[in-house]
Structure formats: C-alpha cells, structure tokens
C-alpha cells in the first residue's frame, strides 16, 4: 500500500462555479488521498458569489479560492496531474493543453448553475443540486482502490462515474 496523493484537476470554461465546487469537495472527501485543483479555459476572473455562499454554508474555507486559467497547470513547475476531469460540455470540447504527468481524463458534465435564470432562491437551489451531483461522483471516485487498479480500469471507472446523475434528473 502506498501513501501517494493523487493530483486531480477539475476543468470548466469560466472556473467560477462547477470546477470550484468540485475542487472543494474532492479536497474534503479525498482527504489524504487526493489533492484537487480547478481551472478554466476562459476564467471569469472571480468565483461566482453564489458558489462562495454555498461553500461557506457547507463549512468550506473560501478565502484562497480563485478563478484561474488552465495554463497554470500546463506550465513548468506545475504539479504532475494524475486525473483531469471536465465538468462542463464546452471545456470538454476544447483542445486542452498538454498536462504534465499524462493524466487519466474523463468528462463529468454537470449543468451550469451560473447560467440558471430564476428567483434568487431557485438559483441557490440549482447551485446546491449541482454541488450535490458533483459531490456524489467525487465520493465514489475517492473510494476507488487507486493502487490496485491499472490505468485502463481507472479510466473506465472515471468514465462511468461521470455518467451518474442525480436520481431526480430527467436526463439521468
């Protein structure tokens, strides 16, 4: 058994909501097994206020969260990545940089809560639904026996986890 910490990067276009939520959840649920990061292909430059509100309500520290470019993780000195997951369809379709470490990749698409139009309360509920969907996937992922699985099996598991939707999702 190794004590390796696996680096995982969550990508979205704006890096203001979904990828930030996934980063926080993975750092919480992966604890000593995962070190999570997030980035965007076209970062918004700030974390969405409802993302911050939700994360604070769930007892996450948010002072160090920031919207950043995926270029930071392709630059010299960036951490070698073991996994890269896209959480929005647009980022999944873009040509990604070359990541150090030849990571396993998968698409874990989730609805964009920042694009949801509705009352303030409905928008908050949307952010929570998306967070819960990502958190459920991350809990499953964090429970995998990484050291016992080969790269092909890990890739297959990661792809299957990305297909899991909320029970109340009409698309799921």
Return the active site residues: 12, 88, 96
In the DSSP assignment, the letter for residue 48 is -
Report d(CA 109, CA 116) in Å as an integer: 15
Which of 57, 6, 10 has the alpha carbon at shortest distance from 161? 10
Q: Could you give the 3-state DSSP secondary structure of residue 125?
A: helix
Q: Could you give the 3-state DSSP secondary structure of residue 129?
A: helix
Q: How many CA atoms lie within 13 A of 95 on its CB side?
A: 0
Q: Any alpha helices (H) in the chain, and if so which ranges? A: 18-29, 49-57, 89-93, 120-142, 151-162
DSSP 11-36: EESS-SSHHHHHHHHHHHHSTTTEEE
């Amino acid at each position: 058994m190794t004590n390796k910490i696996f680096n995982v990067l969550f990508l979205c276009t704006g890096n203001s909501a979904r990828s930030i939520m996934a980063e926080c959840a993975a750092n919480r649920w992966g604890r000593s097994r995962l070190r999570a990061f997030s980035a965007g292909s076209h970062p918004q430059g700030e974390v969405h206020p409802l993302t911050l509100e939700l994360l604070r309500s769930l007892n996450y520290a948010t002072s160090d969260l920031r919207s950043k470019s995926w270029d930071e993780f392709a630059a010299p000195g960036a951490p070698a990545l073991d996994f890269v997951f896209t959480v929005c369809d647009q980022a999944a379709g873009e040509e990604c940089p070359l990541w150090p470490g030849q990571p396993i990749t998968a698409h874990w698409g989730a609805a964009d809560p920042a694009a949801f139009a509705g009352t303030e309360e409905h928008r908050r509920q949307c952010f929570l639904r998306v967070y819960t969907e990502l958190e459920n996937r991350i809990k499953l992922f964090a429970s995998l026996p990484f050291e016992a699985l080969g790269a092909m099996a890990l890739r297959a598991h990661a792809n299957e986890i990305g297909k899991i939707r909320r029970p109340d999702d009409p698309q799921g």
